[in-house]
Amino acid sequence: MAATVFDSAIFRDSFATPAMRQIFSERATVARYVEVEVALARVEGRLGIIPSEAADAIQRRASAQDIDLEQLRQATNVVGYPIVGLVAQLAKQCGDAGRYLHWGATTQDIMDTAAVLQIQAALALIDDDLAALDRSLAHLASTHRATVMAGRTHLQHALPITFGYKAAVWLSALLRHRRRLQEIRPRVLVGQFAGAAGTLASLGDKGLSVHDALMAELGLGSSAMPWHVGRDCVAETVSLLALITGSLAKIATDVMLMMQTEVAEAFEPFAEGRGSSSTMPQKRNPIACELIIAAAGIVRQHAGLMFAAMAADHERATGPWHLEWLAVPEAFLAAGAALSHARAMLEGLGVEPERMRRNLDLTGGLIVAEAVMMALAEYTGRQDAHHIVAHASRAALAKGTPLLVELEADPNVSKHLSAARLRELTDPMHYLGSALAMIDRLLAERAGSG
């Protein structure tokens, strides 16, 4: 009985990828719990804290696949947490050795460490998607380095840019996110083993030895202090997902606006029936963009939820921890979906250079009025130049003539700037500033960091 878009038979592929869903599936979560319990028994047997024979038996007999989820649900409803019921089932599987399960641990140790193992796997998927987007955007930036188009501010024509410049702006954010992901791994991929109140008191003077051995066994980092109630790193992880999807939403917003009928400068890849309307046969809606923006909103809200979960009381939270059980999996599912949609969109993005040029010329050269003003200012001063070019611009708008015509007809301009110079100044390709150099610099930095 699916109740959300994440597990819906209808919507689930729009809001989660199969690979990410598998990482956070119920069976996979239980398997991580069992993995941690078995690893704990293994290291405690090696350290002589529990009998090695018991550790070996637990290693052989503990089976996540044989856990009865209905029975576990019933136990969780009674206890409030799943680990007591899980250990009870594992103990039956392991016979006499079962009494040595969960030795010195507390429920949150198992659940937190299992969650970190899931986060580790999920971040690997995120990293792969970012790398693929990196390649797609670098290709767009390079291929369209000199594809001139209108830059827009406040949704109005501003100055000429190139589509490669726009793609490089998108790319620059994703490169920063790739660095952020690498930087958080040592902080986030740290397991938890600290016992009832975080002091490992039940293991005497061997607690830290077990802690360190367990983390080494699981391939996770060790923490000097328990983080039962120090949830900043989990919150940081979801915050990174919010940053990533926020940047994807910016890309989606740009593409969505460029797909407008009146603009038509770029399009999501065509597929028969994709983005169609139930009533209007001509429609080609920006479906990938819409799903990316929606997913980014979901992740953003879960990032806020994670900040609420940081307000944990004393040495074990009374409620805030539970918020993570919802926020972490759903944030990763939505982020994975956004990345998947972005990959498909950008890998097959349709770019229309001719339409970009036609839109650029819509105002008859007004988009480079600043270029003329700056050239004229060398002779008249900036304020007078601004007044002269503004007057010519208003005349061009009123008459529907190109700006060049009005400039050539104005003696205040022609006495300083020749016709050839004016033609050069009113060519948008000659007023790109450092845009091309910026693209080259970013691509060089990218190559150097790879």
Catalytic residue among 25, 102, 142, 154: 154
Cβ-based neighbours of 430, under 8 Å, separated by 6 or more = 368, 371, 424
- The Cα–Cα gap between 434 and 17 comes to 40
Catalytic residue among 202, 277, 418, 434: 277
**Residue 25 annotated in active site:** no
- The Cα–Cα gap between 12 and 175 comes to 29
- The Cα–Cα gap between 405 and 64 comes to 79
- Stated as kind and residue range, the H or E segment containing 226 is none
Q: Which residue has the tokens 């061997």?
A: 206
User: For 143, left (φ over 0), alpha (ψ -120 to 50), or beta?
Assistant: alpha
**Residue 222 annotated in active site:** no
| Burial class, 54, CB count within 10 angstroms (exposed 0-12 / middle 13-18 / buried 19+) | buried
> Which tokens sit at 54?
């018991």
Residue 156, SS3? strand
N residues, the chain? 450
Q: What is the dihedral of CA 307, 313, 317, 322, to 10 degrees?
A: -30
Q: Which residue has the tokens 């992740």?
A: 299
- Residue 161's beta-bridge partner residues? 149
| Burial class, 132, CB count within 10 angstroms (exposed 0-12 / middle 13-18 / buried 19+) | middle
User: For 314, left (φ over 0), alpha (ψ -120 to 50), or beta?
Assistant: left
**CB neighbours of residue 101 within 10 Å:** 22
Do 107 and 317 form a contact (C-beta atoms < 8 A)?
Answer: no
What are the residue numbers of the active site? Answer: 154, 277
